[in-house]
Structure 1
Amino acid sequence: MPLRRKVRGAAAAGRRAAVRWWLLSLAATGATVTAAAALLAVALHVSSSSAASGPASSSGVPYRLSKLDGAADDAGEKRWWLPAPSRGFTPCVAPSPAYKSPGPSRGYLLVLTNGGLNQMRAGISDMVAVARMLKATLIIPELDKKSFWHDKSNFSDVFDEEYFIHSLANDVKVEKKLPKDLVKAPKFVRYFKSWSGIDYYHDEIYPLWEHRQVIRAAKSDSRLANNYLPPDIQKLRCRAFFQALRFAPPIEALGNLLVERMRSFGPYIALHLRYEKDMLAFSGCTHGLSQTESEELAMIRENTSYWKVKDIDPLDQRSHGYCPLTPKEVGMFLSALGYPSSTPVYIAAGEIYGGESHVVDLLSRFPIMMNKEKLASAEELRPFRQYASQMAALDYIVSVESDVFIPSYSGNMARAVGGHRRFLGHRKTIIPDRKALVRLFDKVDGGLLNEGERLSRRIIDIHRKRQGSPRKRKGPVSGTKGSDRFRSEEAFYENPLPDCLCQPESPASDASVVSI
């Protein structure tokens, strides 16, 4: 019997090696691994279920495969599909009885957003609240066209402009353009102070209306404090971010179609695989890359003027958990959690750096690996393909609607989607502890720990309380001061509790309360 078990394990390892070789050969020739190819890879796995149900392969990877629809057979695997317990928390964003519709406008607020899609979303939502505090008419914000992506999209290309204006009618006056007589009028251009409270806007910005009719906010990100703002202002931020900023109808239509097509494979994981050129260059993370690739990223960082930090130690970055998990590490993580190889995985990301040669290990573990390019036809994607924000919006929709969301890095997309899933009922969101995982994976690479039950137990134990359950937003890290103190706080839109989520049986929480 031991000999038979050993032969089965070797056969399973051989099949996985064959699939990996086949996927590598496709990548080497520049071929795209299509949905049909992914299903064929699964068929190769499933062709011998007796071997699949045997012990771990020589590499330590378990070969327990469930049905093709991704539904697990045992209670342990099912647990990782169940949503986080919401404990009865539901959105509570209605204004208080004292809240009034906007009165006469003191002037016009122009906003130049900055960053990618989700950084701009947060900035726009903050500027809605700022316009309310300043008694200003908000002009439809101008999207960032000069950042890394050089996206020329206008607001109405990405968001439903009419819906945005209509849904905020009782909060802020919003107009599409400045009146013609003010287009060339003198304007105050201000970089609003980061993480500011209501006193700053009342004392330092509001008096400017005495001298000008137009104030231009030169940047929009992080211009409003996360905490200690009036409850009605916090609820307005939530209404703007989670409700008013609906995507443009063409994006919504294709995004929902992608969700429908993804669900045809069964319950699925949306994986925000932040392994794109801009992130790796910005963070200085080079683990698993060639010398040529590392030098290319260093050159990009050096030549990007608005990235202030140029000299970065990649080993130090990784050891502190500041780097995104590599595709290989993500595959090890999902396997250790107990997700079977037949689990459908949607890759929410732009172009993966290095192409499919860098995702082959992940793909060999989880062959049903989809993205928008595989789920949609070239014709369906044509209107959006040249616009990074619009393509990111498609990923956002599929990620919010997924059964499980897992980000490989805690960037703007991860925070926005994670917060939105909390707002919609604490949908399951697993946040990898990158610092702890790197230590474990380095032990595996060094031969000090094998993939298998022991590694799985440790990873599962680390992530028992990292699945999106309700909790109060985290305050600043103890001992931090100044801007570092604000920067260490959990972002408002990442976790809108207690301000915008309440338990029906208890009164709305005091917005000034945060978890320290």
Structure 2
Amino acid sequence: MRAGICDMVAVARIINATLVIPELDQRSFWKDSSNFSDVFDEDHFIKALANDVKIVKKLPKELASGPRALKLFRSWASMDYYQDEIASLWEVYEVIRASKADARLANNNLPLDIQKLRCRACYEALRFTPQIEAMGKLLVDRMRSFGPFIALHLRFEKDMLAFSGCTQDLTPSEADELRIIRENTKTWRNKEINSIEQRSGGYCPLTPRETGIFLSALGYPPNTPIYIAAGKIYGDSRMADLLSRYPILKSKEALASVEELEPFTNHASQMAALDYIVSVESDVFIPTYPGHMAAAVEGHRRFLGHRKTINPDRKALVSLFDKLEQGTLEEGKTLSNRVIQMHRKRQGSPRKRRGPAPGLRGKDKHRSEEPFYENPLPDCLCRKELPMQRAR
């Protein structure tokens, strides 16, 4: 959502268009009825970008009945695409409606002023509503009362498991339930998925049990406070193993009363916004699966000074977990040393955004690039150069 909105700000600037406040998707899996102003501070968004793009809350009445184009913008499109093909639509239409917003703009090879505008939109203009910000701060303060804490983006949720086809630690009936959800969701392309192949390839979120083993191997002691940034974990008993290792395990629902959360409870995007705030402000952020939320949080933390973000090497970890299961490896110093070593360079330290994988073309090439909002370095982060010294 954040990436799509910020890209449309940049597109409006490129084609010299007025941007109408975006409509949020209300037909997704979560069926959230929230509008833009329910999640984001609309007036601040408009004011913060006033010198870059003209933004209006609604389409002017005089244009409501005018000719309009419904356009699916090209994925990862360049400046030339928007300046030539899209801008030419103004000759016929008064309004252009983008049918999809995410991944519509290239990650790389754009003018620096456009890249900086994307960051300005994402990290300065796109602020949550005062109500969400206040509730998020309250959750952060309550977590800090336990000491420095980890925000764990635990993606062991029904929608994620259904989408990925991962069934590790699930019962046959649960696996069947998820398969039915996947088959009945029109926008999910892969209907038949081999769960074993998915897991061995590192394409499955870590289970709560695996996450506990991982945290212990990294050296986090049992008294480490952990915030669960997630929706409802699939299976009522799944958290038992993680909780036995880390008893200071908290969530929105554990930190706040029913009355405090009531304004946000039936709105998935607003609840996710609360998790986003706590995740950005945490001492350590650990996502168990590299989805959109994880990428957005990591990028925001990088922008704020490369705050520690540990990305589990799931493919390598699966091999270790299987050896534990088979009894050929035990938890202890050997496992810990291996886990720590394989994650030394996966903790959010400064580095340039990764370009495309070699040998790929077309969409596959662009898809392989590291997303702009996952790592906005170097476009949106200033680096202080060391002063030159004269030889003595």
* Same fold, TM-score > 0.5, yes or no: yes
Alignment of 1:183-262 (within 5 A): 183-262=64-143
| 1:232 aligned partner, one-letter code | D
Q: Which runs of 4+ in 1 moved over 4 A?
A: none
For residue 279 of structure 2, the aligned residue among 380, 393, 399 is 399
- Residue number in structure 1 paired with 2:247: 367
Hey, what does 1:289 align to over in structure 2? Answer: 170
Q: What is the alpha-carbon distance in structure 1 between the residues aligned to residue 143 and residue 16 of structure 2?
A: 45
* Cα pair 2:183 2:191 within 8 Å, conserved: yes
| Residue aligned with 2:97, SS | strand
Aligned counterpart, 2:24:
143
1:157 to 11, 14, 38: 38
Q: Which amino acid aligns with 1:412?
A: H
**What is residue 132 of structure 1 aligned with on the other side?**
13
Whole-angstrom CA distance in 1 between matches of 2:171 and 2:293: 27
- The question of 1:488 aligning with 2:368 is answered yes
Report what 1:427 is aligned to.
307
Check whether the contact 2:67–2:92 (CA below 8 A) recurs between aligned residues.
no
CA distance in 2, matches of 1:280, 1:490: 23
Q: Report Cα offsets for 1:82-134 as digits up to 9, x if no partner.
A: xxxxxxxxxxxxxxxxxxxxxxxxxxxxxxxxxxxxxx110000000000001
TM-score (norm 1): 0.74
Residue equivalent to 1:453: 333
Q: Which amino acid aligns with 1:209?
A: W
1:273 maps to which residue? 154
Once residues 449 and 168 of structure 1 are traced to their aligned partners in structure 2, the CA distance between those partners, rounded to angstroms, is: 55
Answer yes or no: is 1:340 the counterpart of 2:226: no
Find the residue that maps to 1:502 and give its secondary structure: coil
1-structure distance, mates of 2:192, 2:361: 24
* Residues 406-421 of structure 1 aligned to structure 2 (within 5 Å): 406-421=286-301
The CA deviation at 1:185 is 1.9
* C-alpha deviation, 1:506, in angstroms: 7.0
Q: Distance in 1 between matches of 2:96 and 2:254?
A: 45
Give the aligned residue type for 2:19. L
Bigger RCO of structures 1 and 2 (CA < 8 A, at least 6 apart): 1
Contact map agreement 2:151 2:229 (CA 8 A) in 1? yes
Work out the CA distance in 2 between the residues paired with 1:253 and 1:503: 32
1:384 aligns to what?
Answer: 264
**Matching residue of 2:390:** none
2:14 is matched by which residue type in structure 1? M
Find out whether 1:321 has 2:202 as its counterpart: yes
Deviates more, 1:144-153 or 1:178-187: 178-187
The one-letter code of the counterpart of 1:264 is S
Q: Is the contact between residue 7 and residue 101 of structure 2 (CA under 8 Å) also seen in structure 1?
A: yes
Measured against aligned partners, the alpha-carbon deviations of 1:413-462 in whole angstroms (never above 9, x if no partner) come to: 11000000000000011110000000101000010100000000000000
| TM-score of the superposed pair, with normalisation by structure 2 | 0.98
TM superposition shift of 1:242: 1.2
Partner Cα distance (1:418, 1:347) in 2? 16
Q: CA deviation at 1:477?
A: 1.2
CA distance in 2, matches of 1:360, 1:476: 41
Whole-angstrom distance in 2 between the partners of 1:346 and 1:445: 27
What is the alpha-carbon distance in structure 2 between the residues aligned to residue 225 and residue 242 of structure 1?
Answer: 19
1:235 is aligned with what amino acid?
K
Report SS of the residue matched to 2:174: helix
Greater Rg by CA: 1
Q: Shift of residue 308 of structure 1?
A: 1.1
Partner Cα separation in structure 2 for residue 269 and residue 166 of structure 1: 34
* Counterpart for residue 305 of structure 1: 186
Mapped partners of 1:362, 1:480: distance in 2: 40
Q: Does residue 352 of the first structure (1) align with residue 215 of the second (2)? A: no
Q: What aligned pairs does 1:37-76 form with structure 2 within 5 A after superposition?
A: none
Query: Deviation per CA, 1:337-364, whole angstroms, max 9, x where unpaired?
Result: 0000000000000011112x01110010
Instruction: State the 1:184 CA deviation.
Output: 2.3
Where 1:311 maps in the other structure, the secondary structure is: coil
